[in-house]
Chain A
Amino acid sequence: MTVKPNTSSLSGRSKIVSNKKMTFAEKIYLPAIFGGFAITISHFFGKKATIQYPEETRSRSEIYRGKHVLKRDDEGRERCTACGLCALSCPAEAITMIAAERTDDELNLYREEKYASIYEINMLRCIFCGLCEEACPKEAIFLTNEIVPSDYHRGDLIYGKDVLVEPVDKRVDISHRQTPEVLEFKKDKTQTHNL
């Protein structure tokens, strides 16, 4: 009994290898070489894929998960209340904070009675997963479509509040990060944190 070759194929893409003798044209290489020249020279004059980085940047999606921002509310007060949920949710353990109590003369600086006196994100540890913004009950932390630039020292990549908190005069637009469902939910004033 002769063994039949196995013709069944799971993917339907299997090919039977042929070891046929090369033709004369294949043996002298030259036609194939000139074919190669044609391909390389067409790429030589073709469109270049390079993006000249610092001058030009690759366009990023509006919901790109990049550098974080600590939001202020409409009156310019920091929203963060140093609850620590972001730090707890962070799988890379990149976030640390120290909480402090708001004094009476700081009413226009912080929205809640408790605030983060130190808030640091280690950008070398951060994996930009976005769980911190998901965990935040105060809508204080968001990821933006800006990237974290490289640096010469590891220490300089631990971003503090000076980098993270948005400036009062240059507010960061994060509206595109909120889905229609979230925006709808925010109108529900029975939820205390929507007030």
Chain B
Amino acid sequence: MDGNYILYKFILASAILLISLLVAMYSTLLERKVAGFMQDRIGPNRAGVFGLLQPLADGLKLFFKEEFMPGTADKFLYILGPSLTMMIALLTSAVIPWGDSFTIGGTEYTLQVADINVGVLYVFAILSIGVYGIMIGGWASNNKYALIGAVRAASQMISYELAMSMAIIAIVMMSGTLSLKEMVDQQHGMNWNIWYQPLGFLIFIVCAFAECNRSPFDLPECETELIGGYHTEYSSMKLGFYLFSEYINMFISSAMIATLFFGGYNFPFMDSLPVSHNVLTIIGSVVFFVKILFFVFFFMWVRWTLPRFRYDQLMRLGWKTLLPLAIVNILITGFVIMIKHHL
């Protein structure tokens, strides 16, 4: 634990925090661009080249908006809600391996803030807390729309967490580890988990949509029924935090999908490239971000394609389809592992 080590971790953590925020910021622009393109429009293009300054303008606008608080709101919880949501959204990035490692002066620096041996469990723990931010915000607003949105969010996230964890258990059984770094290392080259767990991937990605409160499962904030759901009473930067954390969640979810199923920073023919280890790490990280951005795009693609589920359909899909499928997936995986073990 020398000073050098602490400095390196500090720089890495700050860099990841900044990158997460930057990606989330430009996701808002990308979302509007994707929405526009899919509706035969071209999206915002007035602020800067291709509208690149649009997120700044939006952020600035949110800062200058009136800071409104309902008279009947619980002041402490009202402020705690968005802060908690934002904090939890950023926490998950700590265990994701953003790249292999750099070797500088004989010391190895891994591109992961914390390689804890229960990485997967940590992610699920953080995801479970995620609902508190929404729940507290909806409750503290003292508004029936906000409350309905919060209740929906809570039950939706609890329901889909089950199927999601079950889908991951199959991966954990396969790889025999809970550390995300080790999982990625096992998917060397093209040996990705998606080839072994297509059903698990399908379940996971559907649940990821539900966990992020993204369309087609955006019932907690569906404008047509609940005005804004849990953030109906929020304005200014508190609203900005809620909206922003949705994009951070999307980014982190995409990173998780890429890590668990698409080999993280691994890419085909990575062993045959005639470059040094450090350069390979940089290429790997770039590849990882390309994968993440594809899934961020996929999130948007889905949003602008599928209509919203009805609440009973959402619950039926979660409990009566995805959960049994995930259990079947675990059984099949266990069966195959057993057969392989005996051969």
Q: How long is the Cα–Cα vector from A119 to B301 in the complex, in angstroms? A: 55
Q: Contact between B304 and A40 (Cβ–Cβ < 8 Å)?
A: yes
Contacts A33-B306, A36-B306 hold; do A43 and B40 have CB atoms under 8 A apart? yes
Contacts of A39 in B (CB 8 A): 305
Q: Does B42 contact A (CB under 8 A)?
A: yes
- Nearest Cβ distance between residue B104 and chain A, in whole angstroms? 42
Q: Which of A33, A37, A48 contacts B37 (CB 8 A)?
A: A48
Q: Which of A37, A41, A48 contacts B41 (CB 8 A)?
A: A48
Q: Contact between B305 and A37 (Cβ–Cβ < 8 Å)?
A: yes
Q: Does B69 contact A (CB under 8 A)?
A: no
Contacts A33-B306, A36-B306 hold; do A48 and B40 have CB atoms under 8 A apart? yes
Q: Which of B39, B40, B42, B301 contacts A41 (CB 8 A)?
A: B301
Name the residue of chain A whose CB is nearest to the CB of B45. Answer: A52
Q: How large is the interface on B (under 10, 10 to 19, 20 to 34, 35 or more residues)?
A: 10 to 19
Name the residue of chain B whose CB is nearest to the CB of A49. Answer: B40
Q: Does B331 contact A (CB under 8 A)?
A: no
Chain B at the A interface: mostly helix, strand, loop or mixed?
Answer: loop
Q: Does B164 contact A (CB under 8 A)?
A: no
Contacts of B305 in A (CB 8 A): 33, 36-37, 39-40
Q: How long is the Cα–Cα vector from A50 to B37 in the complex, in angstroms? A: 10
Q: How long is the Cα–Cα vector from A127 to B197 in the complex, in angstroms? A: 65
Q: How long is the Cα–Cα vector from A49 to B36 in the complex, in angstroms? A: 10
Contacts A33-B306, A37-B301, A37-B305 hold; do A44 and B41 have CB atoms under 8 A apart? no
Interface residues of A in 29-70 (CB under 8 A from B): 33, 36-37, 39-41, 43-44, 46-50
Q: Does B34 contact A (CB under 8 A)?
A: yes
- Nearest Cβ distance between residue B202 and chain A, in whole angstroms? 8
Q: Contact between A44 and B34 (Cβ–Cβ < 8 Å)?
A: yes
- Nearest Cβ distance between residue A31 and chain B, in whole angstroms? 13
- Nearest Cβ distance between residue B43 and chain A, in whole angstroms? 9
Contacts of A46 in B (CB 8 A): 40
Interface residues of A in 120-165 (CB under 8 A from B): none
Q: How large is the interface on A (under 10, 10 to 19, 20 to 34, 35 or more residues)?
A: 10 to 19
The interface bits of chain B over 313-340 (1 if a CB of A lies within 8 angstroms of the residue's CB, else 0) are 0000000000000000000000000000
- Nearest Cβ distance between residue A5 and chain B, in whole angstroms? 31
- Nearest Cβ distance between residue B152 and chain A, in whole angstroms? 21
Contacts of A50 in B (CB 8 A): 40-42
Q: Does B118 contact A (CB under 8 A)?
A: no
Most B CB contacts (10 A, CB to CB) among A36, A39, A46, A47 go to A36
Q: Contact between A40 and B301 (Cβ–Cβ < 8 Å)?
A: yes
Contacts of A40 in B (CB 8 A): 38, 301, 304-305
- Nearest Cβ distance between residue A37 and chain B, in whole angstroms? 6
Name the residue of chain B whose CB is nearest to the CB of A37. Answer: B305
Q: How long is the Cα–Cα vector from A50 to B34 in the complex, in angstroms? A: 14
Most B CB contacts (10 A, CB to CB) among A36, A40, A49 go to A40
Q: Contact between A44 and B38 (Cβ–Cβ < 8 Å)?
A: yes
Q: How long is the Cα–Cα vector from A23 to B215 in the complex, in angstroms? A: 25
Contacts of B40 in A (CB 8 A): 43, 46-50
Most A CB contacts (10 A, CB to CB) among B41, B301, B304, B305 go to B305
Taking Cβ atoms with an 8 Å cutoff, the residues of A that contact B are 33, 36-37, 39-41, 43-44, 46-50
Taking Cβ atoms with an 8 Å cutoff, the residues of B that contact A are 34, 37-42, 301-302, 304-306
List 18 contacting pairs A-B, 8 Å CB cutoff, sorted by A: A33-B305, A33-B306, A36-B305, A37-B301, A37-B302, A39-B305, A40-B301, A40-B304, A40-B305, A41-B38, A43-B38, A43-B39, A43-B40, A44-B37, A44-B38, A48-B37, A48-B40, A50-B42
The 4 A-B pairs at the shortest CB distance, nearest first, are namely A36-B305, A40-B305, A40-B38, A49-B40
Kindly list 18 other residue pairs between chains A and B, CB separation below 8 angstroms, not including A37-B301, A37-B305.
A33-B306, A36-B306, A40-B301, A40-B305, A41-B301, A43-B40, A44-B37, A44-B38, A46-B40, A47-B40, A48-B37, A48-B41, A48-B42, A49-B40, A49-B41, A50-B40, A50-B41, A50-B42
